[in-house]
A and B are shown apart, each in its own frame.
Chain A
Amino acid sequence: MRSSLLALAAGFLLAATAPEVAFRDVARKAGLTDTIVSGGPKKNYVLEVNGSGACWLDYDNDGYLDLYMVNGATLDDLQGRTRQRTTNHLYRNNGQGAFIDVTAKAGVPGRGWGFGCVAADYNNDGRTDLFVTNFGPNLLYLNRGDATFEDVTAKAGVGGGDIWHAGAAFGDYDLDGDLDLFVPGYLDFNIARPELKTCDYRGVKVHACGPLGYKGAPDALYRNNGDGTFQDVTTQAGVADRKLYFGFQALFEDFDGDGRPDLFVGNDSNPNYLYKNKGDGTFEEVGLAAGIAVSGDGKEMSSMGLAAGDYDADGLIDLFVTTFANDNYILFHNDGGGFFTDVSYPAGVGEATVPFLGWATFFFDYNNDGRLDLFCANGHVYPEVDGVLKETYRQPLQLFRNAGQGKFTDVSREAGLLSLAPQSARGGSFADFDNDGDLDIIVSLMDAPPLLLENTGGNRANWLRVVLSGVRSNRMGVGARVKVTAGGAVQHAAMRAGESYLSSNDPRLHFGLGAADEADVEVRWPGGGLDRIEGVKANRQITIRQSSPPPRYTSAQFL
């Protein structure tokens, strides 16, 4: 009796004092010490304030995710007044917690002023390729399979010309089994003769004014021809951005559950676009009617980062958008039927985000409890606010734990994020870089080396990782919907390539299972086909290859 009581007490104490899942920065230890450059320290031009992205990809197929960090440049570099010393960086994960710079060897230095990256297997050869967006022509790096890449931009026809390109995304919009590419255009910036503007931000004189006051740059949709080339189908597909909005980040996602990937484009200071896929190779812009073009108060937002995920486990993919300071970030709940409602405040992510300016963001299950949590990387655009306004240039990261019932709780402090020195963060993505069963985070910073936040404790709960291998569908399974049932709870996830802010997340779908030690997994493939595996044991990674027989399910039965 006495020993039982003691055991009970011990258990109670353990539960009461069990440490919260937390993150610690291991970037330096991991060898990620290169500074990300984004213009000069004073940020005199809008070109200098948007930062760059971070992409996870297993480029050498050794089972460990490698990291590609995009780097900017300076105005002098672009104008040819100085020799550019910055490059993008490909870091190979050595599986021992360290990253080794293999940029030169791999042949992916980038060019000029880099912004975003997307990692995806566009040619279905089982090797992850890289698309890099720039100020100026973009770059498509084909993975040769021998730890090197080849610049095939010109051959592929996806350079995009001398405009400012932002956060691209791959998706198979025409469901022909290969990945198409959408690249938003941001704004028309005159690199040869940039205008030093001065404008007023809440009483403070700042220079990096924009984007209002500039002309927008056009978006582009490239259809994959399946032979290593792409065709610009922007106009005929109906996504031509005639109003020249300032496109920041795009993502493909089947929001209305009709089996066809739609396209969302977050526009800065303009209404967002939601292009509904009509299934005939064209799209119809329905953002306003869907309730996702502007905030719930009818205001246009500075839509920076995008996070897509089914946070309330109702089978519908919701969307979270980070915005400018003094505006709350917006959580759009997918109501079904192609309609959304702004639930930022009732969900608990409204008020907490008002003081900050957000960029990279994603839904991910950091504590493996089976519910999608939410991460935001923050940082101001105007260094001039420091010491003048209550807003600061460097800001803390934020983590919101999904508390269930559609609500989130700010756990930034408990997760150790407030122990980190505030930074002006921009790009970011998640991945289990050390393959220990919990999700870690990379954050690209302004004028500083990145943060690599190792998750400590998330793997105390069970998990399951699913790698998709398409056969008739695209090889990566982009556009696939995965449903995991474990312990009586159901989770839905979708495979995407390109989201957050200028970044790509872990291409393996991670599911927290809580205490459940096995799960049933169901995959609905883009274009049709359903595969199901039951009784998968927890705490492992499985690969689901698209089964050979033709699909028995029509697209109408997707959900």
Chain B
Amino acid sequence: MRYAGAIWLALGCWAAESAADLLRQAERHLDKEQFAEAEALLQRALKIEPANVEALYRLGYAGFRQRKLAQARASFTSVVKIAPPAYNSRYFLGRIALLENKPTEAIQWLVPVVNSRERVFDAAAQLSGAYAAAGEPRKAVAPLQAAIAQNPWDHSLYYRLGQLHQRLGEEALARDAFQQSTRLRNTSREDVEILMNVAQAAAGGSSAEALRRGAPILGRADADPNALVALGVIYGNASLHAEAMEAFARASKRDDKFFQAHFNYGLALLKAGRAREALPPLARAVELLPQSQDANTALGLAAVMNQKYREAVAPLEEAFHADPADNRVRSLLATAYLRTGAPAKAAGLLREVSESASADAASLLLLVEALNAAEDPEAALQTAQSAQKRFPNLPQAHMAVAQQLARLGRYQEARPAFQQTLQLAPGHSEAELGLADTLQKAGDHAAAAGHYRPALAGGSPAVRLAARLGLARSLVAQRQLELARQTLEEGLAEHPTDITIRMELSRVYARLGQKERAAEQTRIIEQLRAGAAR
């Protein structure tokens, strides 16, 4: 009995070694890549605490390194179950699937990891590989580009990108990627090391340290343009925009034929809100590589932001052709079409987006504008009403409905929508104007005047003019002729060449018995017309 108790006691002392202790011991073995030893300790730890995710994860890692894929899979799967999202475990599950030649499963594991934007090893590059293995080279491009953004010095990634473009038949893009790979391969080891250190500091959140580490490249007058671009990318990712721009600008000056330099420079300027300055480098980038969807998109966006819509059409068409599923490009192209007198084309593009449940308000409202410009006001009204239903708290949606109804002459139906707009956006000048018009059309001139006045106080010159004319008409209807006269005369300074204000003034003068002044306005109108005709 005493002997059994002694054995029991010995066993109990042995069990007193905690899971944490075992975990620490296993960690030391893992650091030395002694995976079998680590595995044994981890298994013991898990007997004590079966749901210990740290132990499970490390057991999975040890199994992965030993290529004990089934065991590794089981461990990582447990971690994902117990402590989601467990991006690191997902990453390894994706790696395991790739090793087992199951690229589709790999994609399922890796997509959430890449989408999370957390830096998990080389998840983006792995995902690109999974897509490529699954026979979807097009989908492989974006994650590979993301991987390049994270590791801009890595020439192998550019090489892989070149292969993808080649597979997609995009020879020019493939050539550029291969060239970039070669250029980076020739970048000095010193520069590569600097770049890796900068990336590390940036990833650690230390901007000052990142800048300090990058100074040897940025400060060098004869810095390698490839290194400059890579540095710019790292700085850009770390939100060090000014420094990123400087790096890109210098790279593009050092090598005028360097697509990446011009493209990244333009992109950085665009992101910094300097859209006008972004145009030349982006135009140069497209000139160097017309097939680049990203460059075309960026150039199109810059042109639209600068209201150079005609210049935006060609690059956006190119970008849209490359990826018709890109709704951002679709909307931009629709805007460019709309502003260059091709509203039917704009409407055609936007209709597809509008029918999906994920259509945003901006697309719907743009479609309303396009349909109006394409002379289909009934369809524009339907679209506006759809936007109104989907976005009931958006004043612009109600305003769109109101404006459409007014355009169709259905003023009384428009009134509630104008009122709703004002409830959501008090003081909205155009809504005040629209509401005033509906009241005037109903013959309620006193109420109409009450809304023309605030519209007159705010809004664009066109709104103020319309409000002034509307107010004057309602005042005339209420026989307040002197006030109508005053209202119109006050508008002459702001709208000296507008004919309608003088038409109204002529009417009012005539009603006041001031025939000479009425006749004078008629003469001025004729002069203005003659001038316009010339």
B510 in complex: contacting residue of A286, A294, A341, CB < 8 Å: A286
Contact A288 B506 (CB under 8 A): yes
Contact partners of A343 in chain B: CB under 8 A: 443
Closest-by-CB residue of A relative to B519 is: A289
* A298, A337, A339, A346 interface centre (most CB from chain B within 10 Å): A298
A346 touches B443 (CB 8 A): yes
Q: In the complex, which residues of chain A have a beta carbon less than 8 angstroms from the beta carbon of B511? A: 337, 339
Beta-carbon contacts of A280-293 to B below 8 Å, as 1s and 0s? 00000010111101
B507 pairs with A203, CB closer than 8 A: no
Q: Quick one: given A289-B518, A290-B507, are A346 and B409 in contact (CB under 8 Å)?
A: no
Cα distance, A103 to B474, chains bound together (Å):
54
Cβ of B469 and Cβ of A298 under 8 Å apart? yes
Chain A's nearest CB lies how many Å from the CB of B351? Answer: 16
B47 within 8 A of A: no
Please tell me if the beta carbons of B443 and A341 are within 8 angstroms of each other in the complex. Answer: no
For window 407-459 of chain B, which residues contact chain A by CB distance below 8 Å?
408-412, 440-443
A390 and B473 contacting across the interface, CB-CB below 8 Å:
no
Contact A202–B504 (Cβ < 8 Å): no
Q: Mark A331-371, 1 if CB is under 8 A from B, else 0.
A: 00000011101010110001100100000000000000000
Chain B contacts for A398, CB-based, 8 A: none
| Smallest CB separation, A438 vs chain B (Å) | 31
> How many angstroms from the CA of A383 to the CA of B374 in the assembled complex?
19
- Least distance between A356 CB and chain B CB atoms (Å): 11
Nearest neighbor of B477 in chain A, beta-carbon distance: A341
Say yes or no: is B393 at the interface (Cβ < 8 Å to chain A).
no
Cβ-defined contact, A203 with B500, below 8 A: no
A448 CB to closest chain B CB, in angstroms? 28
Q: Which residues of B contact A202 (CB under 8 A)?
A: 375
Q: Does B509 touch A at the CB level, under 8 Å?
A: yes
The residues of A that contact B515 with a CB separation of less than 8 Å are 289
A298, B344: Cβ atoms closer than 8 Å: no
Contacts of A293 in B (CB 8 A): 503
Q: Tell me whether B476 is interfacial, beta carbon within 8 Å.
A: yes
Inter-chain CA distance A339–B504, complex, in Å, is: 12
**Is the CB–CB distance between A298 and B442 below 8 Å?**
no
Which parts of B482-500 form the interface with A (CB within 8 Å)?
499-500
Q: Is the CB of B503 within 8 A of A351?
A: no
If A298-B469, A345-B411 touch, whether A290 touches B510 (CB-CB below 8 Å) is yes
A348 CB to nearest chain B CB (Å) = 10
**Distance from B143 Cβ to chain A, minimum over Cβ atoms (Å):** 44
Bound state CA distance, A298 and B411, in angstroms? 18
List the B residue with the shortest CB-CB distance to A340. B507
Query: Of A288, A345, A389, which one neighbours B503 at CB under 8 angstroms?
Result: A288
Report A-chain residues with C-beta under 8 Å of the C-beta of B509: 289
A422 at the interface (CB under 8 A from B): no
B151 within 8 A of A: no
Please state if A203 and B409 are interface contacts (CB–CB under 8 Å): no
Q: With an 8 A cutoff between CB atoms, is B522 at the interface?
A: yes
A203 CA / B372 CA spacing, docked (Å): 11
A339 to B511, CA, bound (A): 7
Q: Compute how far the CA of A339 lies from the CA of B508 in the bound complex, rounded to whole angstroms.
A: 10
Known: A296-B473, A346-B443. A351 touches B409 (CB 8 A): yes
A343 to B445 alpha-carbon distance, docked (Å): 12
**B525 proximity list for chain A (CB < 8 A):** 288
Q: Residue-by-residue, is A254-297 near B (CB-CB < 8 Å gives 1, otherwise 0)?
A: 00000000000000000000000000000000101111011010
User: Please, how many angstroms separate the alpha-carbon atoms of A96 and B159 in the complex?
Assistant: 98
Chain A residues contacting B375 (CB-CB under 8 Å) are 202-203, 389
- CB A235 to nearest CB in B, in angstroms, measures 19
Whether B510 and A339, one on each chain, are in contact in the complex, defined by CB atoms closer than 8 angstroms, is yes
A288 and B409: CB pair below 8 A?
Answer: no
Task: A183 to B365: give the CA distance in the assembly, Å.
Answer: 50
A539 within 8 A of B: no
Q: A346 CA to B474 CA in the complex, in Å?
A: 13
Cα A338 to Cα B378 in complex, Å, equals: 39
Chain B residue nearest in CB terms to A298: B500
Cβ contact within 8 Å between A351 and B411 = yes
A328: CB under 8 A from chain B? yes
Known: A203-B375, A289-B522, A351-B411. A345 touches B442 (CB 8 A): yes
How far is it, in angstroms, between the C-alpha of A293 and the C-alpha of B521 when the chains are bound?
A: 14
Q: In the complex the two chains form, is B409's CB within 8 Å of A298's CB?
A: no
Contacts of A389 on B, CB cut-off 8 Å?
375
Nearest-CB distance from A291 to chain B (Å)? Answer: 5
Chain A neighbourhood of B344, CB < 8 A: 203
Contact bitstring B146-181, A, C-beta under 8 A = 1, else 0: 000000000000000000000000000000000000
CA A350 to CA B408, docked complex, whole Å: 11
Contact between A289 and B374 (Cβ–Cβ < 8 Å)? no
Interchain CA distance A310-B47 in the complex, whole Å = 103
**Are A351 and B410 also in contact (CB < 8 A) when A203-B344, A286-B510, A343-B443 are?**
yes
In the bound complex, how far is the Cα of B508 from the Cα of A337, in angstroms? 13
Complex alpha-carbon distance, A296 and B466, angstroms: 12
Q: From residue 348 to 404 of chain B, which have CB atoms closer than 8 A to chain A?
A: 374-375, 378
Chain A to chain B contacts (Cβ below 8 Å), 28 pairs: A286-B510, A288-B507, A288-B525, A289-B510, A289-B515, A289-B522, A290-B510, A293-B503, A296-B473, A298-B469, A298-B499, A298-B500, A339-B507, A339-B510, A339-B511, A341-B476, A341-B477, A343-B443, A345-B411, A345-B441, A345-B443, A346-B441, A346-B442, A351-B409, A351-B410, A351-B411, A354-B409, A390-B378
Tell me the A residues contacting B by CB distance below 8 Å.
Answer: 202-203, 286, 288-291, 293-294, 296, 298, 328, 337-339, 341, 343, 345-346, 350-351, 354, 389-390
